[in-house]
A = this chain, B = another copy of it.
């Protein structure tokens, strides 16, 4: 099957693996490196599609797991597919459900996320991870049986089912169905899971029937060098239209950087590379320099809804009393709708009064900030000045957070 996407690399950074390019999909182009806002339930929370377009978003990620449970992939297909359903006619990506099955199963019960484990006692993780099998999900050689987080009904995901769901949803870029392991899983279990993920990768390739969707393979292997290298070589050798780095990225940001160093060099240069679920400014610099082209992350939008707003000096907690009489916009240099019209004092008022408009104005700003940062990253790569640009960003970033103490760090 010939690939329905085209990826043209326009510039390479001289001092890192960073590259700037143009990804052409059936629904338009994506300038890379690109951050895609996450529309978990077919809506980027609080925003309408025209706002996303105005903000310069070019690629949006939707969760196949959530959409399949509610309102159902068949219904979305009947309504003309995701683009029509959510009135977004630009490029779309769906994830395969692997991450959600993990995060709503094991991760939910044990309280672990993408990077850090909860349990400080590392030697104990194997017992805990193996002994406390998640109640909501059961993995077998063929797929995953899980319980809906919405109504407790039983469901099944397999490579074939996931591809079928994603084909009915109809995004431009879809992802292979994988088993996502936890930072608590030891190397033995992670290796077992990886074997499944690799078998499933081939089955995803075999299951696809649509020629207008690009299928991306997912590399797993936790924070284990040998497994990650093996996975990148294996997945990188399959005829995927692009590659994604998924799953547990270890216990620290240093682990994430190592995982990227082990894996990305093994991918074909001419295919796009996606990093799943990562998207804070520092992480993006790290990943871009290691050759990642696209990202999805709920951080900018989730932080916004919690009143945490990005500024060049770091995140500020807009509910903080210090902003009560602050007549300035969130960021004086920002040209977003929020910063052009509203003061920090008004935004604080909206958050304190729990007004819906607050969540939206904050979301607009945070996405404008992050999408603007990605635009500057693209420009810097093309101009051979990425390192300088990063240094300039880092020199200011974080200064504001000091002034408001623990509040920024308490945000979910």
On A, residues with C-beta under 8 Å from B are: 41-43, 45-50, 70-71, 75, 78-79, 85-87, 324-325, 327, 337, 341-343, 345-346, 348-350, 352-353, 355-357, 359-361
List 11 extra interface pairs beyond A41-B353, A50-B337, A356-B356, CB under 8 A.
A41-B349, A45-B355, A45-B357, A46-B357, A48-B361, A70-B349, A70-B353, A71-B324, A71-B352, A85-B346, A86-B346
Contact A46/B356 with A341-B87, A345-B79, A346-B85 known, Cβ cut-off 8 Å = yes
A327 contact set on B, CB distance < 8 A: 78-79
Q: Are B360 and A87 in contact (CB under 8 A)?
A: no
| Interfacial chain B residues near A355, Cβ < 8 Å | 41, 43, 45
Query: Would you call A75 and B42 a contact (CB within 8 A)?
Result: no
Bound Cα distance A177, B59 (Å): 53
Say yes or no: B356 contacts A45, CB within 8 Å: yes
A261–chain B nearest beta-carbon distance, Å: 38
* B residues near A346, Cβ cutoff 8 Å: 42, 79, 85-87
**Can you pick out 20 interface pairs between chain A and chain B where the beta carbons lie within 8 Å of each other?**
A41-B349, A41-B353, A41-B355, A42-B346, A42-B349, A43-B350, A45-B355, A47-B357, A48-B341, A48-B357, A48-B360, A49-B341, A70-B352, A71-B352, A79-B327, A79-B343, A86-B346, A356-B356, A356-B360, A360-B360
Q: Which residue of B lies closest to A363 (CB)?
A: B356
Residue among A42, A48, A349 with most chain B CB within 10 A: A349
User: Which residues of chain B are near A75, meaning CB under 8 Å?
Assistant: 324-325, 345
State in angstroms the CA–CA spacing of A356 and B350 once bound together: 15
Across the A-B interface, give the 7 residue pairs with the lowest CB-CB distance, nearest first.
A46-B356, A87-B341, A43-B357, A71-B349, A41-B353, A43-B355, A45-B356
Q: Which residues of B contact A350 (CB under 8 A)?
A: 41, 43
Q: From B71, B324, B341, B360, give the contact of A345 (CB < 8 A).
A: B71
Q: How far is the CA of A216 from the CA of B35 in the complex (A)?
A: 53
A337 to chain B: closest residue by CB: B48
B360 and A359 contacting across the interface, CB-CB below 8 Å: no
Q: Are B78 and A325 neighbours in the complex by a CB distance under 8 Å?
A: yes
Q: Which residues of B contact A345 (CB under 8 A)?
A: 71, 75, 79, 85
Say whether A356 contacts B353, CB under 8 Å. Answer: no
Q: For residue A45, which residues in chain B have a CB less than 8 angstroms away from its CB?
A: 355-357
The residues of B that contact A359 with a CB separation of less than 8 Å are 356
A54 to nearest B CB, angstroms?
11
CA distance A152 to B351 in the complex (A): 20
Task: Let me know if A342 and B87 touch, CB within 8 A.
Answer: yes
Quick one: which of A45, A348, A355 has the most chain B CB within 10 A? A355
In the bound complex, how far is the Cα of B324 from the Cα of A95, in angstroms?
Answer: 24
For A78, the chain B residues whose CB sits under 8 A away are: 325, 327
